[in-house]
Amino acid sequence: MNATPERPDDSFHVFDTTLRDGAQREGINLSVADKLTIARQLDEFGVGFIEGGWPGAVPRDTEFFRRAVDEVDFRHAQLVAFGSTRKAGVAVEEDAQVAALLEAKAPVICLVAKSHDRHVELALRTTLDENLAMVRDTVSYLSGQGRRVFVDCEHFFDGFKANPDYAKSVVRTAAEAGADVVVLCDTNGGMLPAGVHAVVSEVIADTGARIGMHAQDDTGCAVANTLAAVDAGATHVQCTANGYGERVGNANLFPVVAALELKYDRRVLPPGALREMTRISHAIAEVVNLAPSTHQPYVGVSAFAHKAGLHASAIKVDPDLYQHTDPERVGNTMRMLVSDMAGRASVELKGKELGVDLGGDRELVGRVVERIKQAELRGYTYEAADASFELLLREEVARRPLRYFRTESWRAITEYRPDGTHAIEATVKLWAKGERIIATAEGNGPVNALDRALRVALERIHRELAGFELVDYKVRILEGTHGSQSTTRVLVTTSDGRTEWSTVGVGDNIIAASWQALVDAYTFGLLRAGVAADEA
């Protein structure tokens, strides 16, 4: 089991179920390696409990527990195995599913129990009394084996509405049998905060059990429902990173802990952990292979982004007037957005952020605003392409195009051959330093082949290019919904091994748009490497 050097005290539990309930989200499919990586990230963030899955029922989860117990040195978290109460009519010692929970060797077991009378009868097909016996037997058996036991009361709030006495009797039975925490689950997610507060208050008053909350986000209130339960006396919250979960999702771990730490002034994470929140949220999104939500509270790239010209000018006076918390406290940063709604003040602030001194030059700022407007009309967006924006800004400051080469022509061929193989090839013809350069390269796709051909062409002249790598590539088709033809926008992120920069390209087709973004990417990289630009 785990050593406990920095474990938070037990009076309040931050219980993460990203790996179990979060994995139910449409579009998520985690390998064992993914689960181990996320478990390490959650432990680093400092949650108290990590529910890893259902060993025995899901083969990948069995494997996860085997490896996690051996390979992961948890500093903060305890590993939790999820499972079910014993089957109806079977002795707990002879229930294979229960035995598998012990074999997982997690110090904590979280058992799901039915607490809604209709679910007992229709889904479980047993009697209300037998369900109570199943809870009692399983909890006391697993406690007797030295495990700490929590009980998730599935469909608790709907069950409470239908038959409050029976729902509460499940809580009482679990607590009396030795469950440390009984968790009230809003499994269908239909609750609102006022209702949660009332039910949790009544359950605590009537049963005396230690209560936890598990909220789903079907009404858009999962974070608020979790906090309402805490207000009513719950001391254990079940959440998932980025709110991943079935249907709409689960209570989002990040705004829940941020509210507890920043708004309630309640310490629920190890010291310093909150400042890692934005990074960890994005890292987990990376592993589950979903784009991080740009508009997620606290951690989204837009969460502290200001667009309105009205605000922008006032933010110059005092940023604290316009943000509910200092973004640095959650590891995020304030950003000024460049858009044609923004006035001069936004462009000036953005220039400052990029280290380009516009020196209050009204005419210069006016030219920049005008160029942005024109570009946005054609489908460009600079909000996610800081490097393309900085190039635009520096060109206006220099009053000339900044470039290292001139494109004569290029061609990309993608072919599927009768033998079932693909042949992909690109040729570029450029002028640089007075020289005409022709280069051809193969690639695993047309954009990759163009990228390689461009690099081959320029590398002889600019050695700095050797270290550049295209690390992310996004395509957006801008529908011509309003009568116009559709255009393609490409965002490219390039790395030089130390930093990354993003550029944008727009065109009638994906290859042309990609070419533009690549040209900006190489130009920006060379500019930043201190290479003097010429007129090519």
> Residue 489: beta bridge partners?
476, 506
Say how many CA atoms lie within 13 Å of 414 toward its Cβ.
9
3-state secondary structure of 356: coil
Shortest Å, Cβ 459 to a copy of itself: 21
φ/ψ of residue 447, rounded to 5: -70, -40
353 contacts a copy of itself (rule: CB under 8 A): no
Given candidates 259, 364, 453, 457, which one binds a copy of itself under the rule CB under 8 A?
259
Given candidates 19, 213, 258, 274, which one binds a copy of itself under the rule CB under 8 A?
258
Residues 142-181 that bind a copy of itself (CB under 8 A): 155, 158
Shortest Å, Cβ 166 to a copy of itself: 15
Residue 471 in contact with residue 495, Cβ under 8 Å? yes
Shortest Å, Cβ 153 to a copy of itself: 15
Shortest Å, Cβ 480 to a copy of itself: 10
326 contacts a copy of itself (rule: CB under 8 A): no
Given candidates 26, 73, 265, 535, which one binds a copy of itself under the rule CB under 8 A?
26
Draw the binding track, 396-435, toward a copy of itself (x: CB under 8 A; -: no contact): -----------xxxxxxxxxxxx---x-x----x------
* Burial (CB count within 10 angstroms: exposed 0-12, middle 13-18, buried 19+), residue 191: buried
257 contacts a copy of itself (rule: CB under 8 A): no
Task: Return the structure tokens found at 204.
Answer: 């605590």
Q: Specify the amino acid at residue 148.
A: R
Residues 294-323 that bind a copy of itself (CB under 8 A): 294-298, 300, 302-308, 311, 314, 317-318, 321-323
Draw the binding track, 496-525, toward a copy of itself (x: CB under 8 A; -: no contact): ------------xxxxx--x----------
Size of the residue set binding a copy of itself (CB under 8 A): 114
Shortest Å, Cβ 464 to a copy of itself: 25
For residue 166, which of 195, 140, 130 has the smallest C-alpha distance? 130
Given candidates 247, 352, 362, 378, which one binds a copy of itself under the rule CB under 8 A?
247
Residue 207 in contact with residue 173, Cβ under 8 Å? no
98: left (phi > 0), else alpha (psi -120 to 50), else beta?
Answer: alpha
Given candidates 140, 143, 201, 219, which one binds a copy of itself under the rule CB under 8 A?
219
Instruction: Using the structure block, give the residue that is written with the tokens 């920043």.
Output: 262
Given candidates 473, 496, 529, 531, which one binds a copy of itself under the rule CB under 8 A?
473
Shortest Å, Cβ 82 to a copy of itself: 11
3-state secondary structure of 119: helix
Given candidates 6, 340, 469, 500, which one binds a copy of itself under the rule CB under 8 A?
340
Residue 471 in contact with residue 493, Cβ under 8 Å? yes
Residues 363-392 that bind a copy of itself (CB under 8 A): 376, 381, 383
Residues 453-472 that bind a copy of itself (CB under 8 A): 472
Residues 35-94 that bind a copy of itself (CB under 8 A): 58
Residue 282 in contact with residue 299, Cβ under 8 Å? yes
Shortest Å, Cβ 303 to a copy of itself: 5
CA gap 194, 29 in Å, rounded: 35
Shortest Å, Cβ 291 to a copy of itself: 9
Residue 171 in contact with residue 139, Cβ under 8 Å? no
**In the complex with a copy of itself, which residue's Cβ is closer, 1 or 477?**
477
The residues, ordered by sequence, that sit 6+ positions from 216 with a Cβ below 8 Å of its Cβ are 186, 187, 188, 189, 222, 245, 246, 247, 248, 249, 250, 251
Strand segments, DSSP code E, in 374-499 are 406-416, 422-432, 435-442, 469-478, 487-495
